[in-house]
Amino acid sequence: MMNDERYWSVKNGGGLIEVPPIDELCEALKRKFEDKEKRIEYLKKELEKLKSKKWKDKELQDMKEKLNEMKKAYYRGFPISEEEEKNIQNWIINHEEKYHRPKETPFGKFRGGAIGGCYSYIFTPTSIGTVGTIKCNCGKEYNFMDL
């Protein structure tokens, strides 16, 4: 050991290499270890971001597929909006009161059989849209969906 606490070692080729004191080596290793730990934490966060984005992409893809399935089901039938449904129900109530005077029963006012059958919904698709009509079996009609 020398006065400045540096060590000397012999290289494979026969020359000397200087080895710093143990404290300096430990400090350098500590800094290197801390740098590696910071890098690992950074990479973990980046990995979580990627996983999160991938999960969101997968979730969005699943939602898109479900939306497409719902659209297919929607377009197979003829949709009636909530407002149109309210208008239809109001027309039916007024029509029943005015033309048919339904009898009061323990189940409410109604006429028709167990499965109804008093009204038919008629949808007429055209090149510019769909016309929706409800028709009573007495012949009266109400257009609830016009172009």
Give the model confidence (pLDDT) of 6-56 as tens digits: 566 656 666 777 777 888 888 999 999 999 999 999 999 888 887 777 777
Mean per-residue pLDDT, 80-86: 88
Q: How do residues 105-119 score in pLDDT, each as one tens digit? A: 666 666 666 677 788
**Number of residues that make up the chain:** 147
**Which residues on adjacent β-strands are paired with residue 103?**
110
Q: How far apart are the first and last CA of the chain?
A: 101
* pTM of structure: 0.46
Note the pLDDT of residue 76. Answer: 65
Note the pLDDT of residue 107. Answer: 60
Calpha distance 85→98 (Å, rounded): 20
